[in-house]
Amino acid sequence: MSHIVPVNRKARLIAKLVLDAPDTARAMSLPDPPFGCTTIFAPGWEADSSGGTSNLCTPIERDLYDCYHSCYWPAQVPDALTNFPKWANACGAPVKDWTSTDLVFP
Partner 1 sequence: MGEPLIPMTTFAATVHRRRVVDDAVWIYASSSAAVLRLDAVADAVLGAFLDGPKTVDAALAAAAAAPGATGIPNADLATTLRELVGLGLVRPLGESAPPAPTVPPMPYPLTTLVVNVTNACNLSCTYCYEYGEDRLADRERTDGTARRSTMTVETARESVDFLFANSEGRPEITVTFFGGETLLNWTVIEAAVAHAETRAKAEGRKVNFSLTTNATLLTDAIIDFLVDHTFGINISIDGAAEDHDRHRKFKSGEGSYELILPKIRRLLEKNRARRGRPIGARVTLTRGTKDVRGLFRHLTEEIGFDEVGLAPVTAAKDRDWAFEPSDYHLLVDAFGALADDYVEAASAGRHHGFSNLSDLLRELHTGTNKAHPCGAGLGLLGVSTEGDLGLCHRFVESGEHEIGSISEGIDSEKRAAFLDAGHISKRIDCHGCFARPVCSGGCYHEAYVRTGDASAPNLHACDWIRAWTDIGLSSYARIMAKNPAWFDRHEVST
Binding site for partner 1 (CB under 8 A): 1-11, 13-15, 18-19, 22, 25-26, 29, 31
> Of 1 and 93, which CB lies nearer to partner 1 in the complex structure?
1
Q: Which residues have a Cβ under 8 Å from the Cβ of 85 and sit 6 or more positions away?
A: none
Q: Which residues have a Cβ under 8 Å from the Cβ of 35 and sit 6 or more positions away?
A: 70, 71, 72
Compute the least distance from the CB of residue 58 to partner 1, in Å: 16
Catalytic residue list contains 63? yes
Half-sphere CA count of 101, side-chain side, radius 13 A: 26
> Of 21 and 81, which CB lies nearer to partner 1 in the complex structure?
21
Compute the least distance from the CB of residue 16 to partner 1, in Å: 11
Q: Which helix (H) or strand (E) holds 77?
A: none
Compute the least distance from the CB of residue 32 to partner 1, in Å: 11
> Of 31 and 52, which CB lies nearer to partner 1 in the complex structure?
31
Identified catalytic residue from 63, 66, 79, 102: 63
CA distances from 59 to 29, 33, 55, 63, 103 (A): 24, 21, 9, 8, 14
The residues assigned a catalytic role are 63
